[in-house]
Amino acid sequence: MRKRCLLAAIALVARGAWAGEASLNPAKDNSMWNDTPTELSSGLGPYLFVGANAQLSVRRGLIAFDLPAAVPTNAIVTSASMTVNVSKARGTANIELHKLTKNWGEGASDAGDPGGGGVPAAPGDATWIHNFYNTSSWTTPGGDFSPTISGTASLGNGLAEFTGTQMATDIQGWMSNPSTNFGWLLKAELEGSPFTVQRVDSLQNSTPENRPTLKVIYNASTWNTGAGVWSGAGNWNFGVAGGIGAEANFSFQSGPPFNSIAVSVDGTKTVGTINFASSNSYTLAGSAITLDRAGGITNINLTQGSHQIGSALNLNRNTNFNIAAGSTLTVTGTMTAASGIAITKLGDGSVKLNNVRADALNVAAGRMMIPPNGGDSGVSRLNTLIIDSSAALDLNDNDLVVNNGNFADIQALVLNGYRAAPDSTATGIVSGTSQTIHTGTTILALFNNALAGFTDYPFGSGNSIATGAIAGKYTYIGDTNYDGQVSAQDYTAIDANIGTSVDPGISWFYGDTNFDGN
């Protein structure tokens, strides 16, 4: 089975060498039939059609990709290919790609399965006559496209790959001038021959791995020396990294004196992706770094070594931290996420952050760690929290507020981490401080604020708590009032409520300080 992904980066670690690879599915696709006078289409159908049938009725396909969502804006494209899956064919046919010179639409029409006859076009569909049905027409019926062949493939049942040097040229041109990216037209080499029609699985196909995939190989800005200033043109191969959607690659490695490489961030920088792939330890410090791109997800990928970002880190898009096993990324600068931003931790390695304050956090693999702090700056605030059964959020001595959480789910994560062995394999919500220093005497004490009704207690003035938030205070077991110590007041609360049945969401205050339900 072929694996598909939105964006993958491949590092070739040598003296500053780096090759990137982006894989992406179409942004839109459609088919056109020349069966006049009926205008046919299949904008949301599961298949594309290209070639001629037994009656010499011609079909052509249209396909386009959202390049800025996956390919760096500073990419120097070296090659490209497109893989498709032919799910029905009578024999084989050579199919050509041609660069479209006019925009076109994907409407709500759906020819279904088998779909070879098309259906009447819906508003906005591309048809043989209209590029947008029925408000705009092609200059030439059948589509406006360059006569130059961008790529070719021999299609028959099964997988096929379009290749051609012009494909890379087309993509480079679209990256330079996004307003000209109308994608490619698929047409049979011999449209006058019968039985050349091919049924290609489309963007809407129910089997994701059968959808068309464009693969782009490129070079992008790559650091090529030891310590230096980010803006120094001589410090980079393929140009200085910068701009929305750009990629910055830190793969240069050498022996002493470059075991540690300091990159001075001289002035605010914006990129879409940062890749670390070096056994040397990079430190990026100075002015702020903003992660942003025109669409899709921004990324920090670490495939080798352990590295540090000392600059302030601003997240303007949903962001993936993908850290390889055995590696650690440490962010000592303040990290700020724009409204609605989700953070996903991928890879079996670790990320260290001063706190996580975002709309959502998904620890899908490995470990996300908040270093020992214990103060207001260490409080993580989220609307949604997801932690995979094999992953961990290590809060150490820090607190947590989840505005839209389920108490039982978060409590289960806390108990899973608390009861685990004191080592790095513990999963759930864990505390390295508790496990290694306090030997199990501290815990993330939870309450449901819908029941407690606090405004900011116990997190300090100015740290407000939403009415329905699930909040956790890192404290000693037995500290029922969250004042940071086990006192007579705590014993009084426990003694007064022995045997009392209390909603689990507020049971800590009544003396259930180990969450066993009693």
pLDDT in tens, 157-180: 999 999 999 999 999 999 999 999
7 pLDDT above the threshold of 60? no
So what's the pLDDT on residue 16? Answer: 43
What value does the mean pLDDT of the chain take? 91
HSE of 17 in the Cβ direction (CA atoms, 13 Å)? 4
Range picked from 178-192, 458-472, 488-502 for highest mean pLDDT: 178-192
> In this predicted structure, which of 131-135, 170-174, 248-252, 461-465 has the lowest mean pLDDT?
461-465
Say whether pLDDT at 316 is over 50: yes
- The pLDDT tens digits of the residues spanning 143-158 come to 999 999 999 999 999 9
Share of the chain above pLDDT 90, in %: 75
Q: What is the structure's pLDDT at 17?
A: 53
pLDDT one-digit tens code per residue, 230-244: 999 999 999 999 999
Q: What is the pLDDT of residue 197?
A: 96
Query: Strand 158-163 and strand 184-188: pairing?
Result: unpaired
Q: Is the pLDDT of residue 34 over 70?
A: yes
pLDDT per residue as tens digits for the range 90-121: 899 999 999 999 999 999 999 999 999 999 99
Give the C-alpha separation, 515 to 105, whole Å. Answer: 57
Under the banding of pLDDT at 50, 70 and 90, the label for residue 415 is confident
pLDDT band for 476, please (50, 70, 90 cuts): confident
Task: Kindly report the backbone phi and psi dihedral angles of residue 69, in degrees, each rounded to the nearest multiple of 5, phi listed first.
Answer: -75, -15
Query: In the β-sheet with 328-331, what is the strand arrangement from edge to edge?
Result: 228-229, 260-265, 281-286, 307-309, 328-331, 350-353, 367-369, 392-394, 428-430
* pLDDT tens profile 60-79: 999 999 999 999 999 999 99
Residue-wise pLDDT for 388-398, tens only, equals: 999 999 999 89
Query: CA-to-CA distance for 358 and 399, rounded, in angstroms?
Result: 15
pLDDT tens-digit series, residues 264-309: 999 999 999 999 999 999 999 999 999 999 989 999 999 999 999 9
- Picking from 354, 318, 355, the residue whose alpha carbon sits closest to that of residue 338 is 318
The pTM assigned to this predicted structure is 0.90
Question: 461 phi and psi, to 5 degrees?
Answer: -60, 135
